[in-house]
Amino acid sequence: MRKRIELSVVVPIYNEEESTPVLCEAILHVCQSLAVPYEIIFIDDGSKDGTPQVLEKLHQEYSNIRVIQFRKNYGQTLAMAAGFRAARGKYVVSMDGDLQNDPADIPKILHTLEQGYGVVCGWRKDRKDKLVSRKIPSKIANWLIGKITRVPIHDNGCSLKGYRRSVVKQLPLYADFHRFIPAMSTLGGAKIAEIVVNHRERSFGSSKYGISRAWRVFLDLFVVSLIVRSSARPALWFGKFGLVALLAGIGCFMIFLAYNISGIVLPSVAFMFFALTGHLVALGVLGEMILATGDYRPGQMVRDGILAINRDKGASLHE
Amino acid sequence: MTVIAMNPSSTDSHSATHEASNPPLAVSLVVPVVERSQDIEAVYHAYTSILDKLSLTFECIFVIDGGDRRVMNVLEALPSTKCPLKIIPLPYYFGESMALAVGFEQAAGDVIITVPPYFQTVPEGIEQVLKRLDEGNDLVVTKRWPRVDAWFNRLQTRMFHNLVNRLTGQSLSDLGSGLRAMKRPVAKEISLYGDLHRFLPLLAYQKGFRIAEVEIPQHTADSQHRVYRPGVYLRRILDLLTVVFLFKFTKKPLRFFGLIGSGLFAVGFCVSALLALERMLGVTSLSDRPLLILGVLLMVLGVQVGSIGLLGEIIIFTHARKLKEYTIRKFYR
């Protein structure tokens, strides 16, 4: 009989033919020292260099290395999504393929997960990157993400994260949303922890990020926070704005009546606001119907046995 | 020779039995017979003799849109000694996309080549197309070049493709050329309907297939002057917009609707704010300014459009785990 896998390590890789073997050795070394059944899943995100061949060789060499080869470059979020879908372990750890994350942190993450947390986020407290182009924008972005999603994590962009299986299988990962995994998983009711992890200088290849994505991250942040807020209870969320529109309509009408103003402008405006109210209420109801037929339920993970504490105050953090 | 009575609902069972009974084939030649079928016999002989010369095992699949009896008679009289022949009449006029889709379902070859039922490019082009496919591409499309037809045809082709390439970021130059070669997965994974066959390379690109374009000289028989009715041009543009929407925004409805909605809202807000300012300065009273209705209407419309985009996002969010946006070439388990 097959042993039940305890740990899945998911590593998206894009054009890293030099660092991949080194990284693989390091992860294998750490996993072997843990003495639990494990698997390593590499996702080749449509690399254009020799990465696919390197990964194929590693797969032939070690029995617990699995490799998913994408047809083209789809980005880190989808690579992670594919890895998560394939993962069989009770706990799943994701990390970058560029050696900047340290596999030696895996045991620490695993230990924290075993204490009952749904998500464990790495925090690159001492980050080895360029100050102006990487560290400062990231600090601002994280502050903003924390404020808007109400999940104050120091380092959303750190790929080194650990998850409980039920969380990973619940996460809706698409578009560019891997940065918002903590925010999205709290919606499901997962308990979040944050630990300081090691961060190393890049030794091979070049970084695939640039300041140019700032705008896209900002847009995504806006979208994610809207989704997270509205999809918990669509009828209430849309209804709230419907109420505002209703009050605005009533206000216009009252002014019209109270001051005995002639002309049809104010009543027309009032009716428009009423129409908007109807529209929003209808959308809210439609939203509830969509939620009822979809496979995402807010609080699903709570039912799966991971208790959320202090959801209203955001995630519970510790270092 | 097999004549398969086509009934769109029974395609699955047919393809299953055929794939099971036939020995492995290198090439399936799929001919969607939609228009200009008078040369079809010559087309058949030209292509099959080239494939014979290349000593490949192949089959021919003719899908006859509307099941035209005259074409059926011609095809049924063809000698079936050269290769297995499948003749599939469609019971109704479904168009080229449907004809191709049915042909793809019946195709048993490792490589599938689509050929128009008339001479559009020189038949020798099939060799070049196959060669490029062997170089590691998944789909090879063709460009009729050098061209022999009227300058007006070329001009409208050029303009249309400029628009396509600008909107999709691709560099395609002849979507109307019917000669294409693809590996089996391309034909089996892409679902064609409506007029989508024209945009096959775009759909294949989205699925992550490698695409190449080769230049094949245009056949002299393809030189007719093509001026269409205005409706045709309009339909082509609408098709393009549909494809672009599918291409760019299906997974990001809020980007699309949100942009439109916030634009409308901003204009409405500015108009209303201006009027409010005038009112506060005592220039005019609001009830005398019908412009206020427009301002508020735009704001309301902006909220409505934007909220529909948000609802779209909720749909995707709640169904995201069933979505698979990526395509896997290989999984080493």
pLDDT at position B23: 62
Tell me whether residues B207 and A79 touch, CB distance under 8 A.
no
Q: What b-and-e string marks burial along B70-79, b requiring 16 or more CB atoms within 10 Å of the CB? A: ebbebbeebe
The tokens describing A263, both together, are: 């002309």
What would the mean pLDDT of A13-42 be, rounded to a whole number? 92
B89-112 per-position pLDDT tens digit: 999 999 999 999 999 999 999 999
Read off the DSSP letter of residue A305: T
Residue whose C-alpha is closest to residue A164's, from A2, A17, A301: A301
> CB count, 10 Å around CB of A313?
9
Q: Which residue has the higher pLDDT, A137 or B85?
A: B85
The tokens describing B21, both together, are: 């009974």
pLDDT at position B324: 78
Is the pLDDT confidence value at B22 over 60?
A: no
Is the pLDDT confidence value at A85 over 80?
A: yes
pLDDT at position A203: 72
Say what the pTM is. Answer: 0.76
Nearest-angstrom CA–CA distance, A207 and A15? 10
Read off the DSSP letter of residue A199: B
What phi-psi label fits residue B36: left (phi over 0), alpha (psi between -120 and 50 degrees) or beta? Answer: left
> CB count, 10 Å around CB of B6?
22
Burial category of B185 from C-beta neighbours within 10 Å (exposed 0-12, middle 13-18, buried 19 and up): middle
How do B109-114 and B25-33 pair as beta strands?
parallel
Which range (A180-194, A238-252, B56-70) has the least confidence?
Answer: A180-194
What is chain A's mean pLDDT, rounded? 83
Q: What b-and-e string marks burial along A118-154, b requiring 16 or more CB atoms within 10 Å of the CB? A: bbbbbbbeebeeeeeebeebbeebbeebbebbbbbbb
Q: Is A290 on the interface with B (CB under 8 A)?
A: yes
Q: Is the ipTM of this complex over 0.90?
A: no
What would the mean pLDDT of A45-63 be, rounded to a whole number? 92
Is the pLDDT confidence value at B305 over 80?
A: yes
Which are the contacts of B52, defined by CB distance < 8 A and separation ≥ 6?
B82
How do A119-123 and A91-94 pair as beta strands?
unpaired
For CA atoms A238, A243, A245, A246, give the dihedral sign: positive
Let me know: does A122 contact A197? Beta carbons within 8 Å: yes
Let me know: does B31 contact B63? Beta carbons within 8 Å: yes
The A residues from 159 to 198 touching B (CB cutoff 8 Å) are 169-170, 172-175
> CB count, 10 Å around CB of B203?
20
Tell me whether residues A238 and B327 touch, CB distance under 8 A.
no
> CB count, 10 Å around CB of B292?
21
**What is the arrangement of strands in the sheet containing B180-183, beginning at the earlier edge strand?**
B2-3, B85-89, B58-64, B25-33, B109-114, B180-183, B139-144, B211-216
pLDDT at position A98: 85
Chain B environment of A46 (Cβ under 8 Å) = 208
In angstroms, the separation between the Cα of residue B269 and the nearest Cα of chain A is 13
Strand partners, B64: B33, B89
DSSP per-residue string spanning B130-197 = HHHHHTT-SEEEEEE-S--S-HHHHHHHHHHHHHHHHHH----S-TT---EEEEHHHHHHPPP-TTGG
A271-282 per-position pLDDT tens digit: 999 999 999 999
Let me know: does B256 contact B249? Beta carbons within 8 Å: yes
Considering only the beta carbons, identify the residue of A56, A230, A241 that sits closest to B314. Answer: A230
Count Cα atoms within 13 angstroms, Cβ side, for B175.
Answer: 26
Q: Is B313 on the interface with A (CB under 8 A)?
A: yes
Strand partners, B216: B144
Nearest-angstrom CA–CA distance, B210 and A72? 9
B154-175 per-position pLDDT tens digit: 898 899 999 999 988 889 999 9
Residue whose C-alpha is closest to residue B216's, from B137, B103, B139, B119: B119
Considering only the beta carbons, identify the residue of A79, A227, A266 that sits closest to B287. Answer: A266
pLDDT at position A315: 40
State the alpha helices, DSSP H only, in chain B: 11-21, 40-53, 69-76, 96-106, 125-134, 151-168, 184-189, 200-206, 230-248, 253-280, 291-319
Let me know: does A169 contact A68? Beta carbons within 8 Å: no
What would the mean pLDDT of A193-212 be, rounded to a whole number? 75
Q: How many residues does the structure list for chain A?
A: 319
Nearest-angstrom CA–CA distance, B3 and B103? 13
Q: Is A317 on the interface with B (CB under 8 A)?
A: no
pLDDT at position A21: 92
**Which residue of chain A is at minimal alpha-carbon distance from B311?**
A287
Q: Is B294 on the interface with A (CB under 8 A)?
A: no
Let me know: does A67 contact B331? Beta carbons within 8 Å: yes
What would the mean pLDDT of B1-10 be, rounded to a whole number? 54
Read off the DSSP letter of residue A67: E
Find tokens 């896997």 and name the residue.
Answer: B328
In angstroms, the separation between the Cα of residue B300 and the nearest Cα of chain A is 6
Residue B75: alpha-carbon gap to chain centroid: 27
